[in-house]
C-alpha cells in the first residue's frame, strides 16, 4: 500500500508539472521555442526533486531508532513499515536514476535536456533575446552542455550516478564491498552539484501576463518596426496607421473581435531554484544526525576480550560509558587502523543490562576489512579450529562504536509467540534475544519461542551452543521447558554428526539432518497456537526469506495469523 501511494505520488507530480509547462501562459514563449522537451525535462525534474528529498530520510538511523524505541509509533504494522527503510532508500535511488540518467536508461530528464540544448540552438529567438540560452542561432549545442554551469554540473551528476548505481549492484557489493562503500559516499558530491545545477537560471518564465497576454498584438512594436497595420485595424488603432495594407489582404472578422492587445513587451525572469526547497530540510536533518553520531561515537570504547570461533567467526566484547541497547539492535564499528573512512554494521549479540555493562558482536571474516581487523585483534589469526579466548595482556587497536540502531528483531519480544529463523551467521540478532531471555524472561510479553537455525557445517553451531544450553537448562529448572522450541538443521553432511561435548547433549537431540519442511512447520505451529498472532523473524539467505514470506501471507484453517519481519545480510 505504501509503495502504491509513493508511485501514485510520483505519477501525479510528473503529470501536474507536465501540464503546467504545456498549458501555462507564463511558459508560452518558452514552450514555443523548446516544445515537449521543456515539459518532459521539468516534469522529470520534479520527480527527481521528490526522490532526492525522500532518499535521505531512510538513512537517518537515529531518527528511526527514536521513533521505534520511544513508542511514538504505537502500531506494530507501522513499526514494520520503518523496517523497510532500506528498501525504500533503494527504490528512491533507482527512481532518481530512471528520471535523470541517460547513460543507464536513455530516458527523460537528460534526454529531454539534450533536446532542449538542440532547440535553444536551432530555434534562437531574435524577437525575445532574454529567452535564449544560446548566444546566436546555430551555436554548437555541446557548448551549452560543457561550457555552462547547468550543463557541466548535469554531465558530472550523470557520471556520479552511474558510478553509484553500478557499484550498488549485488555482484559488486559481494565481491568488493570497498568499491560500493566509497562510491556510495559520492552522494555528498551529487547533492552539491545538484544545488549548483539549478542555479544557472537557463529556463525563464514571463512575469507581465496582464500587460502582455501571450500571443497578443503589440501596436507599439508595429510602429517601431515601420510596419503598417491591416485596413481592418485602422478603426482600432488610428494613431498607429500610416498607410493602409493592400486591399486583397484578408483579415477574419472573428480574429479582429477576439484579438488581445498588449501594452508592453514581455518580461522574463529566471525561476528561483525549487530544488533547494525540496532537499534543504532532509539534507540538514541528515547532516545534523551525522554530526550527532560523530560526537556520540567519539566516546572511547574498551575491548575486554576477543574470541576466535570456528568457521572464521570472531567475537568481540566491549565496554562503553553510558551505552544502552535493546535486543535485536545493531552498531557500526570503525577502526582507523583498518581504514580511515570505512565502517561496517554488526548486530549486537550481547546487550548491556543493569548488572553488566558488557556488550558484544560476532563478525564473520569474509572480506578485506574483516581480515585486517582480525589480524589486528588476534595474536595468531590461523587458530580457527577451537574456541580460543585470548588472555594475554595486549594493546588492542582503537575502536569507535556508532549506535545502537533499530531493526525488526526488536519486536520479537513483543509477541506472545515468535518464530525466529536464522541461516548461518544470520543467527546474530537472535543471540541478543536469547541472552536477554537468559537474564530473565518474565518481564516480556513473549511466552513461546520457536528457534530454527540452519547451518552448512556442524562447527557453526558451536558459536552459540553454550548460550542455547544454558537457556535450555534454566527453563527446565524453572519448569518451563515448553518456553523455547529449538530446532537445529545441518544442511550439508557426509553422515551422522553431533556437536562435540557431553554438555551439548540437549542440542544433539535437537539436531536434524537436511533442510526444514517449511510448510509442515508452519502448519504445526498454527495448530499449536490457534487464533493467535505469531511474529515471524528471518535473518538469512533470500531463498529462505521468500519462502517464509509466502507462507506467512497464506491462510490456514486454525485462525492463526503470521506477521512477517525480515532482515537480509546478502
Last residue of a domain, one of 248, 279, 310: 279
Helix (H, G, I), strand (E, B), or coil: what is residue 152?
helix
What CATH number has the domain bearing residue 525?
3.40.50.80
- The answer to whether the CB of 199 falls within 8 A of the CB of 149 is yes
E-assigned strand segments in 424-532:
448-455, 484-490, 511-513
Pairing of strands 330-334, 400-405: antiparallel
Assess if residue 237 is contained within a domain: no
The residues, ordered by sequence, that sit 6+ positions from 542 with a Cβ below 8 Å of its Cβ are 568, 570
Assess if residue 46 is contained within a domain: yes
Compute the distance between CA of residue 155 and CA of residue 199 in angstroms, rounded to an integer: 15
Assess if residue 418 is contained within a domain: yes
DSSP one-letter code for 492: S
533 and 427 in a single domain? The answer is yes
Last residue of a domain, one of 385, 405, 425: 405
What CATH number has the domain bearing residue 360?
2.40.30.10
DSSP one-letter code for 425: G
78 and 55 in a single domain? The answer is yes
Question: Which three cell numbers mark 418?
Answer: 515468535
Q: Which H or E element spans position 446?
A: none
Q: What is the largest CA-CA distance in the chain?
A: 117
Nearest Cα neighbor of 538 from 508, 563, 511 is: 563
40 and 110 in a single domain? The answer is yes
Question: Which three cell numbers mark 93?
Answer: 535511488
48 and 75 in a single domain? The answer is yes
Compute the distance between CA of residue 363 and CA of residue 133 in angstroms, rounded to an integer: 56
* Helix 149-167, helix 85-98: angle, nearest 10: 130
Helix (H, G, I), strand (E, B), or coil: what is residue 364?
strand
- The answer to whether the CB of 445 falls within 8 A of the CB of 409 is no
What totals of helices (H) and strands (E) does the chain contain, helices first? 22, 15
Q: Which H or E element spans position 440?
A: none
DSSP one-letter code for 162: H
Q: What Å distances lie between residue 82 and 145, 168, 526, CA to CA? A: 41, 22, 27
* Helix 108-122, helix 36-54: angle, nearest 10: 140
115 alpha carbon, distance to own chain's centre = 31
What confidence score (pLDDT) does residue 387 get? Answer: 44
154 and 30 in a single domain? The answer is yes
Question: Which three cell numbers mark 313?
Answer: 567467526
Compute the distance between CA of residue 205 and CA of residue 182 in angstroms, rounded to an integer: 40
What confidence score (pLDDT) does residue 319 get? Answer: 92
472 and 448 in a single domain? The answer is yes
Tens of pLDDT, residue by residue, the chain (570 residues): 666 777 788 889 889 998 998 888 888 877 887 788 778 888 888 888 888 888 887 777 777 777 766 455 555 555 555 555 555 445 555 555 544 443 333 345 666 666 666 766 666 666 666 666 666 676 766 666 676 777 788 888 888 888 888 887 778 877 777 788 888 888 888 888 888 877 766 777 888 888 878 877 666 554 444 444 444 444 544 544 444 444 444 544 544 445 577 777 788 888 777 788 888 888 888 889 889 888 888 887 889 888 888 888 899 999 998 888 888 888 999 998 888 878 888 999 998 887 888 999 999 888 788 888 998 888 643 444 444 444 444 578 889 998 888 888 888 888 999 999 998 888 888 899 998 888 887 888 888 999 999 988 888 888 888 888 888 888 888 888 888 898 999 887 665 556 555 667 778 778 888 889 999 999 999 999 989 999 999 888 888 889 999 999 888 888 899 988 865 443
- DSSP code string of 27-64: GHHHHHHHTHHHHHHHHHHHHHHHHHHHTTGGG-HHHH
Structural domain containing residue 516: 411-567
401 and 504 in a single domain? The answer is no
What confidence score (pLDDT) does residue 331 get? Answer: 92
424 and 401 in a single domain? The answer is no
> How is the beta sheet containing 359-364 ordered, strand by strand?
388-389, 301-309, 313-320, 359-364, 344-350, 330-334, 400-405
27 and 164 in a single domain? The answer is yes
Nearest Cα neighbor of 26 from 276, 269, 274, 272 is: 269
Assess if residue 260 is contained within a domain: no
Please tell me the number of Cα atoms within 13 Å of 89 on its side-chain side: 14
**Using alpha carbons only, what angle is made at residue 569 by residues 173 and 513, rounded to the nearest 5 degrees?**
125
Last residue of a domain, one of 279, 308, 335: 279
Nearest Cα neighbor of 197 from 158, 140, 141, 139 is: 158
Buried b (16+ CB within 10 A) or exposed e, 308-343: bbbbbbbbbbbebeebebbbbbbbbbbbeebbeebb
Assess if residue 339 is contained within a domain: yes
Assess if residue 68 is contained within a domain: yes
441 and 487 in a single domain? The answer is yes
Compute the distance between CA of residue 528 and CA of residue 416 in angstroms, rounded to an integer: 13
The length of the chain in residues reads 570
DSSP one-letter code for 322: T
400 and 441 in a single domain? The answer is no
Assess if residue 6 is contained within a domain: yes
What confidence score (pLDDT) does residue 76 get? Answer: 57
What confidence score (pLDDT) does residue 548 get? Answer: 92
95 and 184 in a single domain? The answer is yes
Count of structural domains, the chain: 3
- Alpha helix ranges (H) inside 303-348: none
Whole-model pTM: value is 0.70
Assess if residue 166 is contained within a domain: yes
Amino acid at each position: 500500500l505504501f509503495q502504491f501511494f509513493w508511485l501514485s505520488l510520483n505519477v501525479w507530480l510528473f503529470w501536474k508539472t507536465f501540464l503546467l509547462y504545456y498549458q501555462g501562459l507564463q511558459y508560452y514563449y518558452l514552450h514555443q521555442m523548446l516544445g515537449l522537451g521543456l515539459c518532459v525535462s521539468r516534469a522529470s525534474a520534479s520527480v527527481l526533486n521528490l526522490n532526492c528529498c525522500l532518499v535521505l530520510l531512510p538513512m537517518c538511523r537515529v531518527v528511526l531508532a527514536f521513533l521505534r524505541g520511544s513508542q511514538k509509533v504505537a502500531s506494530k504494522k507501522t513499526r514494520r513499515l520503518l523496517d523497510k527503510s532500506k528498501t525504500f532508500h533503494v527504490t528512491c535511488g533507482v527512481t532518481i536514476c530512471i528520471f535523470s540518467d541517460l547513460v543507464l536508461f536513455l530516458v527523460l530528464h537528460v534526454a529531454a535536456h539534450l533536446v532542449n540544448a538542440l532547440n535553444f540552438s536551432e530555434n534562437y529567438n531574435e524577437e525575445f533575446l532574454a529567452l535564449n540560452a544560446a548566444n546566436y542561432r546555430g551555436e554548437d549545442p555541446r557548448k551549452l552542455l560543457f561550457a555552462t554551469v547547468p550543463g557541466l554540473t548535469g554531465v558530472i551528476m550523470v557520471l556520479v550516478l552511474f558510478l553509484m548505481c553500478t557499484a550498488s549492484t549485488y555482484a559488486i557489493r559481494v565481491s568488493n564491498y570497498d568499491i560500493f562503500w566509497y562510491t556510495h559516499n559520492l552522494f555528498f558530491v551529487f547533492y552539491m552539484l545538484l544545488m549548483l545545477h539549478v542555479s544557472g537560471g537557463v529556463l525563464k518564465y514571463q512575469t507581465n501576463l496582464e500587460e502582455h497576454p501571450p500571443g497578443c498584438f503589440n501596436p507599439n512594436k508595429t510602429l517601431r518596426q515601420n510596419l503598417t497595420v491591416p485596413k481592418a485595424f485602422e478603426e482600432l488603432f488610428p494613431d498607429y496607421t500610416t498607410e493602409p495594407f493592400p486591399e486583397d489582404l484578408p483579415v477574419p472578422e472573428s480574429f479582429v473581435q477576439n484579438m488581445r492587445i498588449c501594452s508592453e513587451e514581455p518580461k522574463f525572469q529566471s525561476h528561483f531554484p525549487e530544488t533547494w526547497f525540496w532537499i534543504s530540510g532532509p539534507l540538514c536533518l541528515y547532516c545534523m544526525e551525522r554530526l550527532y553520531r560523530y560526537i556520540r561515537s567519539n566516546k572511547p570504547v574498551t575491548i575486554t576480550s576477543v574470541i576466535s570461533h570456528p568457521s572464521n567467526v570472531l567475537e568481540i566484547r566491549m565496554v562503553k560509558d553510558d551505552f544502552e541497547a535493546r535486543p535485536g539492535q545493531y552498531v557500526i564499528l570503525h577502526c582507523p587502523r583498518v581504514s580511515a573512512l570505512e565502517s561496517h554494521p554488526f548486530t549486537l549479540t550481547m546487550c548491556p543490562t543493569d548488572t553488566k555493562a558488557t556488550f558484544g558482536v560476532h563478525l564473520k571474516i569474509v572480506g578485506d576489512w574483516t581480515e585486517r581487523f582480525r589480524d589486528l585483534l588476534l595474536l595468531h589469526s590461523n587458530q580457527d579450529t577451537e574456541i580460543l579466548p585470548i588472555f594475554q595482556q595486549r594493546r588492542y587497536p582503537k575502536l569507535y562504536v556508532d549506535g545502537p540502531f533499530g531493526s525488526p528483531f526488536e519486536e520479537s519480544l513483543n509477541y506472545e509467540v515468535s518464530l525466529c529463523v536464522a541461516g548461518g551467521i544470520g543467527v546474530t540478532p537472535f543471540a541478543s534475544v536469547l541472552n536477554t531471555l537468559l537474564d530473565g524472561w518474565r518481564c516480556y510479553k513473549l511466552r513461546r519461542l520457536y528457534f530454527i537455525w540452519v547451518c552448512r557445517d556442524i562447527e557453526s553451531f558451536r558459536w552459540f551452543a553454550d548460550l542455547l544450553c544454558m537457556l535450555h537448562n534454566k527453563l527446565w529448572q524453572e519448569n518451563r521447558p515448553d518456553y523455547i522450541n529449538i530446532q537445529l538443521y545441518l544442511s550439508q553432511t557426509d553422515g551422522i554428526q553431533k556437536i562435540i561435548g557431553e554438555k551439548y547433549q540437549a542440542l544433539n537431540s535437537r539436531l536434524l539432518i537436511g533442510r526444514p519442511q517449511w510448510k509442515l512447520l508452519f502448519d504445526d505451529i498454527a495448530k499449536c497456537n490457534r487464533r493467535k498472532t505469531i511474529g515471524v523473524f528471518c535473518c538469512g539467505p533470500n531463498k529462505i526469506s521468500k519462502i517464509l514470506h509466502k507462507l506467512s501471507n497464506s491462510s490456514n484453517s486454525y485462525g492463526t495469523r503470521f506477521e512477517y519481519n525480515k532482515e537480509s545480510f546478502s
